[in-house]
Structures are given as structure tokens and as C-alpha cells.
Amino acid sequence: MNSKIAITSFASVSPLGNDAVSVWEAYQLEQSFIKPTQIGTSTVFASSLSKENKQKVAALRLSETKYKFLDDSVLFAILASRQAVSLAEWNSEDIFGINIGSSRGATQLFEKHHAEFLSTGKAQTLASPTTTLGNISSWVAQDLQNNGPEISHSITCSTALHALLNGIAWLKSGMADKFLVGGSEAPLTPFTIAQMQALKIYSSSESSDAYPCKTFDFSKTKNSMVLGEAAATICLESGENEKAIAYVEGFGYATENLKHSISISAEATCFQKSMKMALGRMNPEEIDVIVTHSPGTIQGDLSEMKAIEIVFGNNIPLLTNNKWKIGHTFGASGMLSVEMALLMLQHNQFIQVPFLKQQQQIRPLRKIMVNAVGFGGNAVSIVLCKA
């Protein structure tokens, strides 16, 4: 059995745009897409969908009655999945699996239904089916009529990359030839924002900095995480493929030994293990770029950097990330980082973080590593190789 795993398409619904061309153009801009946003009764920094994507979501909600009462996270996933499957040229006769996860799931609907319950003592009829964790993949499957397995899960902020791991496992086992994987998140809600503020990791709304989320800036003295909303998906296929954009060259995973529920060790042991596993027999010098997880917190950014230094020594690859630009999209973030990596491979161009020391690309981009980790210390590292 051919062990190669090909990525044949990718798509997203995000603040950056609604297709690969507009997303790439957005990455060429040095501006952040994070701005002051009204969430409930408060104004906080956040990153919302692009105007075009908001219009697409609204149109989908109104297109059929069955979509009217779905959470935004589900609608985001449906739109991203439709686009990815279309680009991969899959059709209704193809048998493919679906694994799209979410850190928080139906955040807006759950908060809405719970608030109504506290107010009236009663729950609405559709409160349960529209807020279950399996709601995302099951509705994507309904929309695409895929004739294959469907899986939903939550592994906090590494959810999307765990979906990728699941897809790889199904393909390598021979139980499937094609898999749609990704993550979706719509976390811009009052209670979710309040939770992050309670942890004292959220960027202050009083900041006047052009970049409210200072990822991998080790001079910062305050945590600067910011939330964003998005969905991102990719299509995986077994073996060599003429449509391949890239191949999964390596993958790794590990779990941190926690001291408390949101801790990570000073040298991110979980990342050290996941990166080493993903490298396998590869020479670390083969990695051209690492798309870091880097949420914008002091401890999170610093520990990941120390892990990279331990694994790569004096030959640290080019480092970049996208949370400074679009915020942290929780369960979708890892797949948005994969999208960023795929675009860099396609265009053979490294994307800089504008407020950090500029790095020089000195060779063609062939291999890029993507990192993700979440509450619970569940780290994943993926190595993508140019097709």
C-alpha cells in the first residue's frame, strides 16, 4: 500500500477572504485584521469574517429552512467544506470520510439557549440537536452526502490538526481513500470572551498598538491573545496524486504532563516530542519554515520558542504565524496554519511577521512544519512537503 498522503485542495472561511487568491493577497498586507469589536455590552479586540464571507454565511442560512437554526460554526464548516470538495473535484459518488472538529462547538447557540433557560426555566425544542458536538460534521455530511464515516471531536486548540491525524490514520489503514478534515470556530461571544479575560490572557482593549496580538514578541510584558472566527478544511487522498498541492511528510503528537488545566512546561516538552516525532528520520535542516502555534501569551510563546531551540539547535528554520493577523480561532487555528503553509509552498514565498526582526529566505521552500497545542497540553506537529 502506498503510504503517501496527498493534500489535493484547501479552503477556508475567515477574516482573510473567500478564496485562495484573496487569502494570499491578504497575507501580503502588513496590516492586522484584528480591530475593536462590540461583543455583548463590551468592546474588545477580535477578528471577524470578511465582508464577503459574512454575506455567504447569511445567504446559506436563508437558502433552506434546515439551515436557519444552525450555529455559525456549522455554517462556516459547510461553506469551507463545499469549496474544498469542489476544488478536489470530488462528487456525490465518491466515498470519503469527514472529520471536522471544534474547541467550543455551537458557542453562540449554546449561550443563547442557556440564557433563555436561566430567564424562563424552559429550553427550546431544538436546543439539544443544534448544540451537540457532532453537529458540525453531521451537517457537513448531510450537505455533501458523502457516503462515508463522519467524526466530530474537541481537543481544544489542536482540534483541527488532530482531525488531520485522524484522516491520516484512516487512509493509512486502508479503510478509506479520501478524507475531508478541518476545524471550525465561532467564539466571538460574551461568555467565551469573558472566560479568556478571566484567565488574564486576553489583549487589553486599551491598547493603541497597530498589532494588538503580539505573537512571538518576547519583549511584551502583557499577554495579548485575541480571538477570531473561521473554518478551514483540506482534502486528503491516499498515494501519489497528480492534483496534489503538497504531501504530508511527517506527523507527531504528544501530551504534556500538566500541573494545572492550562499549564505548559517552560520548555514545552509536548512540542519537543511532537516535533521530533514529525521529523522522524529527516534532518532538521530540511525544514525551511515553522508555522508556530504562538497564541500571543507570554508563557505560551516563550515555551514553544525554547522547544524549537532544543529540537533545531543552531539551525532554526524561518519562523512565522498568523494569529497576529487574524487572532486565535481555537479549534480551527491549526488548519488555518496549514493553509498558510500551503500558500507559502505554492508561491515559494515566506510570509513575515511585520513587527518582528525580518528573516531572509535564502532557498526555495520545500518543507514546512506546522505546530498546534491547546489546553490539556495536546500538541501536534505536521511536516508538509511541496508536491
> Is 264's pLDDT higher than 80?
no
Task: Give the per-residue pLDDT at 260.
Answer: 52
DSSP state of 221: -
pTM score, two decimals? 0.96
Task: Give the per-residue pLDDT at 1.
Answer: 41
CA dihedral for 84, 230, 209, 262, sign (positive or negative)? negative
- pLDDT-derived band at 375 (thresholds 50, 70, 90) equals confident
Half-sphere exposure of 282 (CA within 13 A, CB side): 25
Q: Strands, DSSP E only, in 169-297?
A: 178-185, 227-228, 230-238, 246-255, 289-291
Task: Give the per-residue pLDDT at 367.
Answer: 98
Residues 293, 67: Cα–Cα separation, whole Å: 33
> Is 2's pLDDT higher than 60?
no
DSSP structure string for 43-74 = EEEEEPPPHHHHHHHHHHHHHSGGGTT--HHH
If we measure between CA atoms, which residue out of 296, 265, 278 comes closest to residue 369? 278
Strands 42-47 and 227-228: parallel
User: Contact at 8 Å (CB) between 321 and 228?
Assistant: no
Residues 382, 8: Cα–Cα separation, whole Å: 16
Half-sphere exposure of 72 (CA within 13 A, CB side): 24
> Is 287's pLDDT higher than 50?
yes
Q: Strands, DSSP E only, in the chain?
A: 5-13, 35-39, 42-47, 97-101, 150-151, 178-185, 227-228, 230-238, 246-255, 289-291, 318-320, 367-372, 378-386
Radius of gyration of the chain (CA): 20
Count Cβ neighbours within 10 Å for each residue of 240-270 and write b for 16 or more, e otherwise: ebeebbbbbbbbbbbebeeeeebebbeebbb
Q: Region 364-378: what's the mean pLDDT?
A: 93
Task: Give the per-residue pLDDT at 93.
Answer: 79
> Is 262's pLDDT higher than 80?
no
* CA-to-CA dists, residue 132 to 33, 120, 138, 153, 257, angstroms: 30, 22, 10, 11, 29
Going from the N-terminus, what domains does the chain have, and what CATH number goes with each? Answer: 5-238 (3.40.47.10), 249-386 (3.40.47.10)
Contacts of 199-205 with CB under 8 Å at 24 or more apart are 199/262, 201/225, 201/295, 201/297, 202/44, 202/45, 202/226, 202/227, 203/45, 203/296, 205/36, 205/42, 205/43, 205/44, 205/45
Task: Give the per-residue pLDDT at 259.
Answer: 63
If we measure between CA atoms, which residue out of 159, 227, 222 comes closest to residue 193? 227
Beta bridge partners of residue 6, listed in sequence order: 237, 247
Q: What angle do CA 319, 80, 90 make, to 5 degrees?
A: 110
Q: Region 203-215: what's the mean pLDDT?
A: 90
> Is 348's pLDDT higher than 80?
yes
Task: Give the per-residue pLDDT at 263.
Answer: 53
Name the 3-class secondary structure at 252.
Answer: strand
